[in-house]
Structure 1
Amino acid sequence: MSMNNTEKAVKDIRRKTRRKFSTEEKIRIVLDGLRAESSIAELCRKEGINPNLYYRWSKDLLEAGKKRLDGDTSREANTDEVTGLKRENKNLKQAVAELYLRNDWLKKVWLGRV
């Protein structure tokens, strides 16, 4: 069964206009839910989110807190970023070493002529 053009257009529009929540907004919403001043269903209606999304954010926040309290302080950096930084670090160290050797050589040449 295939989707007709109208259904596809509607799905595309919904996908492109989907609200994106910042980390701070997610934390605020989860903390509001934990305060239990209103029901999770009311909070989700007010924020315009699906309760399943709220519970996923809540679980993620609590898991992150648990890891941090357990002493897991490793930063989640993407592999490309780390690889790039290591490559840049290696190149900079090599450049410093070459400059040091060139400077040392120039000193010897200059002192040898004087």
Structure 2
Amino acid sequence: MNAKKQSAESKVKEIRRHTRKNYSSEEKIRIVIEGLRGESSIAELCRKEGINSNLYYKWSKEFLEAGKSRLAGDTKREATSDEVHDLKNENVDLKQLVAELSLENRMLKKNQNGIG
């Protein structure tokens, strides 16, 4: 019986994990700014948004630290995976272009040497 309870609890946790909402950066910023405005309590805001207050405070801390770094002149940021993927594809295309141009250049030089 205890094994069934354990199994049911783990199943519920698994379902919650899979159905958890992923917030976009825009949504996180909106929620943090709403909390900073102070028009309602953080507890009320979190209830309305369906998030844990610890998550709100984590987002708030990250938001403020990012702003502080930016204002301090730190313009370095991490690229998103889409940006990295696009850059890798562009890199492959450019390497292919260099290879084609090098081959064409070599062929032209051979033909020029053979004619002259």
Give me the TM-score of the superposition, normalised by structure 1: 0.76
Q: Give how far 1:97 is off.
A: 2.9
Paired letter, 1:9: K
Match of 1:40 among 39, 42, 49: 42
Q: Unpaired runs of 5+ in structure 1?
A: none
Matches of 1:71 and 1:22 in 2, distance apart? 25
Report the Cα distance in structure 2 between the residues aligned to 1:53 and 1:17, rounded to whole angstroms: 17
Letter in 1 for 2:18: K
Q: CA RMSD in A?
A: 3.0
Q: Equivalent residues in 2 for 1:1-114 (5 A)?
A: 4-77=6-79, 81=84, 85=88, 88=92, 91-92=95-96, 94-95=98-99, 96-106=101-111, 108-109=112-113, 112=115
Partner SS, residue 33 of structure 2? helix
- Bigger Cα displacement from structure 2, 18-27 vs 95-104: 95-104
Runs of 4 or more above 2 Å deviation = 84-94, 96-106
Q: How much has 1:64 moved relative to structure 2?
A: 1.1
Residues in 1 aligned to 2:41 and 2:35: alpha-carbon distance in whole angstroms: 7
Mean Cα displacement is larger for which, 2-11 or 51-60?
A: 2-11
Paired letter, 1:11:
K
**1:25-71 deviation per Cα after TM superposition (whole angstroms, max 9, x unaligned):** 00000010111111111101100101110010011111111111222
Gapped runs of 5+ residues in structure 2? Answer: none
- The count of aligned residue pairs is 109
User: Identity over aligned residues, as a percent?
Assistant: 50
Q: Structure 2 counterpart of 1:105, which letter?
A: K
